[in-house]
Amino acid sequence: MSNQVSVIYNELDKNFQGNPNLRIKLHSELSRLISATYSQSMDSDEGYCYKFTLPTTAVMNLFPLLQLNPEIVRKAFQNDWKFPNNATMYNDSYYHILLLIVYYGIKHKDVQLINNALFLLLQKIWNGRKYRYIKYCDKKVMNYVISHLLNKKHNMSKFDSPLLLIKDYYVPTLINKYGSEILNNILRLKQLFIQSWVRIDQLYTYNSILDPDSGKKKAQGGLLPLYMKAKQNNLYLTTPTVMKNDDGQVEFDQYATVHGRDKIITSTSDFISMNVKEQYPVELISNINKNTKVSVKVIEVLLSSIHDHKFYDLIHDAFTIILSRTNVVDKNDICKKDFMLNVKRNIISSKNNDSVNKLQNILNKLCSDIFSEKLGIDFNKYGRTQQIQITTIILYGLIFNLKRLNCSRGVVDI
């Protein structure tokens, strides 16, 4: 059986072997694109009306970076997948280059390459399906559908945004399902591509029947019929507002407070996880060294190591406690001059508090794993006072990233 995509892949593999820096450059470029995606998504309040700003030009520039010709690659996919010239999606070079990178990542067990390439691929499929079914999307109506009409078992009700749905659900489930098959047969990339489309399509519509009145197929399940029903009945969810009590003092309703914190927690955890080669200011490291008396080398190792996907859940849990203890309602609370004083008073200096003790356990776990993996040292051999000094470094790093992402001005104060 002819398999021209394999020929293209072999050429790509040789290009990587001939240029050891090529893989580093590819990682850097994909990480840059993903970081931009996160920044744009974090600035949006569109919810499930959100449409990704696709980095089409940047993705197409991966062809010259990897020394491949897009037209030759397209013809190879067309030969193996047997699609006609008018098949728009199948002929799209945006998908071809990302599928090749996914395959390279699978062959070389490079999880980050796989996840980033598939994430970019699914963004475009998401945009296409959203435009197809709900071209003009009212976010207030959509919020009502997600909150009140959608079955709680539906994937959209489990994730706060399309970005999180794709990153945390579709990317891992698709790779877990088809990764081993693709490893054994590159032609199975077609199955991955088809299922990527099918699964996002089924979010919007499934179980279609023929409408006898219109003669057209009509979906019985999925987001589309629920959205149209809500829109027809003028159902929508208003944004929680700031209120004043009888004394004229500002109050926030509980939903607004928790929702605001959750958004900050998730966006900051994502920011740390995606910026895998973050550089910290020398002044910050120097300040931490003065405060903790821990060596600069250990500080640098600890700060750089938190930017690892496997620590995402621990960091998310840590931020949940930090923002709760400091009574953060929105970004303005983080950017105030006395925020660090608030951290020291309510977290660092707080004793015998259940939530602070839980935070300390999370930081201990982070430090223990990092010390073992990066320094070859047993963290538990240190006394409690030394452990607290070391875990405080992680806390400072989390606070620094929290302020860097959510505040407009640069921050190095601790």
Q: What is the pLDDT of residues 341-383, one digit of tens each?
A: 888 888 888 776 778 888 999 999 999 999 998 888 998 888 8
In this prediction, residue 196 carries a pLDDT of: 94
Question: Where in 203-361 does DSSP place strands (E)?
Answer: 206-210, 217-221, 242-244, 250-252
pLDDT of residue 151: 73
pLDDT digits (tens, 9 = 90+) for 9-56: 999 999 999 998 999 999 999 999 998 888 888 778 888 999 999 999
- Which segment, 139-148, 157-166, 172-181, 380-389, is predicted with the most confidence on average? 172-181
- The Cα 359–Cα 406 span in angstroms is 21
Segment of 95-109, 134-148, 343-357 carrying the highest mean pLDDT = 95-109
Q: Which of these, 194, 169, 198, lies nearest to 182 by C-alpha position?
A: 194
Q: What is the CA radius of gyration of the chain?
A: 24
Check residue 395 and give its pLDDT. Answer: 93
Separation in Å, CA 38 to CA 91, 163, 288, 376:
28, 8, 28, 33
pLDDT of 217 over the 80 cut? no
Q: What is the pLDDT, as a whole number, of residue 245?
A: 42
**Highest mean predicted confidence (pLDDT) among 227-231, 331-335, 399-403:** 399-403
Is residue 9 within 8 Å of residue 100, measured between CB atoms? Answer: yes
- The beta strand positions in 146-265, using DSSP E, are 206-210, 217-221, 242-244, 250-252
pTM (predicted TM-score): 0.59
* 205 vs 121 pLDDT, higher one: 121
Average pLDDT over residues 322-339: 85
Map out the domains of the chain as residue ranges.
4-134+161-207, 242-406
- pLDDT tier for residue 100 given thresholds of 50, 70 and 90: very high
DSSP secondary structure, 79-130, as one string: HHHT--TT-TTTT-HHHHHHHHHHHHHHHTT-HHHHHHHHHHHHHHHHHHHH
Sorting pLDDT into bands at 50, 70 and 90, what band is 256? very low
Summary mean pLDDT of the chain = 85
Reading the block at residue 371, the tokens are 């010390």
Give 68-71 contacts, CB < 8 A, sequence gap 24+.
68/8, 68/11, 68/12, 68/15, 68/97, 68/100, 70/96, 70/97
Lowest mean pLDDT among 166-170, 187-191, 259-263, 351-355: 259-263
Residue 58: band (very low, low, confident or very high) from pLDDT cuts 50, 70, 90: very high
- The span from the CA of 223 to the CA of 144, in Å, is 12
Cα–Cα distance list, 320 to 257, 286, 312 (Å): 12, 27, 12
